[in-house]
Amino acid sequence: MFVKWRKIMSVISILRAANTGMVLTFLLFISAVLLTYVVDMNIPLYTTVFLHLMQIIMAGLFKVAYVVRLVSLKELGYEVR
């Protein structure tokens, strides 16, 4: 009984981490998009390249966090669609 409760608590902490990861990567992605396309600044080329790479990396990490979220929800017994 104790082991099952401990497993549920670890799954809940993984779910919280996945949700936090999704929020953080989304905010970082949006900030990279805003800095790249919306803000009219004369930024160096290497900064522009870095911001474009950050968009790709943050999108990938968002997807990883979403998959972790789905797996943890399934472990908790929720229906995952």
pLDDT in tens, 12-42: 999 999 999 999 999 999 999 999 888 877 8
Cβ(28)–Cβ(78) below 8 Å: no
Cβ(34)–Cβ(51) below 8 Å: no
DSSP state of 12: H
- For the whole model, what pTM was predicted? 0.84
* Helix, strand, coil percent content, the chain, rounded in steps of 5: 85, 0, 15
Indicate if the pLDDT at residue 70 is higher than 80: yes
Q: What are phi and psi of 61, to 5 degrees?
A: -70, -35
Higher pLDDT, 39 or 70: 70
Ranges of each domain in the chain: 2-75
Query: What digits encode the pLDDT tens for the residues 47-63?
Result: 899 999 999 999 999 99
pLDDT at 57: 97
